Structure 1
Amino acid sequence: MLDGTPEPDFPEDGLPGHREWAAKVADALAEEVRMPRGHEWPAGAERPVGDLAADPEEAEGEWAKAAGAADADTYLGHAGAGRHVTDPYVSVTARHALGLATTPPEYDEEAGRDTDGGGMKV
């Protein structure tokens, strides 16, 4: 969801579209938080999975504030904070507690060139 941004590229040139997009990001993050919290986990995984939902929850709050921003500077502040708060490495602890793989995949260095059907080296 964060890969694409609305046109025009800069919120200064199209704040309404950016605010609408920020609301969609906030909604997606709220769902990302709801899903793990709405499930029962083994005792050793409850805390790591709960921790996994903390970053998206904080990010969701920032994106919701960006969606309600009155000006581009306020929007940029909250959108930047929403992007910054997400730590992809938090998932390693939760994945380990659930007995899942914890080694991130290696991606091809040549962006845009898919050499093995998935863009990842296996």
Structure 2
Amino acid sequence: MAEAAVLAALDVMPAEEYAGDPDAYEDWAKRASKAFADQSRRLRDGTWPAVAQSLLRARAAELDKASGHWDKAAGARDEDDFWTHQGRAEEALTQEAQRTCSA
């Protein structure tokens, strides 16, 4: 499921603090961005029952938005910039859509 892949990407947060290993955070952000974009594409390209199509398109749009913020986090110029974009990526995702897509 799309939601499991997205959650798995988020679960691999680096063990070190950002200041101790910023490259690991860049790599994490790149992996998260790719996972979100891949799952969005799977939702958009899939064949779904008519009743689910609008919800899944909405979730795909959220995943695209989050992926863009993860891209920005990967290119962050400093720690504050990284966490700003990481937070925006989280904010792009609604719990309602996650529950709907997980069901």
Provide TM-score, normalisation by structure 1. 0.68
- Normalized per residue, the structure richer in helix is 2
What's the secondary structure of 2:46's corresponding residue? coil
Q: Give the match for residue 35 of structure 2.
A: 28
Question: 2:69, 2:26 → 1: CA distance?
Answer: 12
Q: Give the match for residue 67 of structure 1.
A: 74
Q: Give the match for residue 99 of structure 1.
A: none
Instruction: Specify which of 16, 21, 26 is matched with residue 14 of structure 1.
Output: 21
Matched, 1:3 2:11: yes
Larger radius of gyration: 1
Q: Which moved more, 1:85-94 or 1:12-21?
A: 85-94
Runs of 4+ in 1 over 6 A off after TM superposition: none
Question: 2:95, 2:41 → 1: CA distance?
Answer: 18
Q: How many residues are paired up?
A: 95
Matched, 1:50 2:63: no
Per-residue deviation, residues 57-93 of structure 1 (Å, max 9, x unmatched): 1110100100011211111110111123222321455
Per-residue deviation, residues 82-115 of structure 1 (Å, max 9, x unmatched): 12322232145567xxxxxx5xxxxxxxxxxxxx
Determine which structure has greater relative contact order: mean sequence separation of CA pairs < 8 Å that are 6+ residues apart, divided by chain length. Answer: 2
What's the secondary structure of 1:57's corresponding residue? helix
Q: Give the match for residue 46 of structure 2.
A: 39
- Aligned-residue RMSD, C-alpha: 1.9
Structure 1: runs of 5 or more not aligned = 96-101, 103-122
Question: 2:98, 2:91 → 1: CA distance?
Answer: 16
Structure 2: runs of 5 or more not aligned = 1-8
Identity, in percent, stands at 29
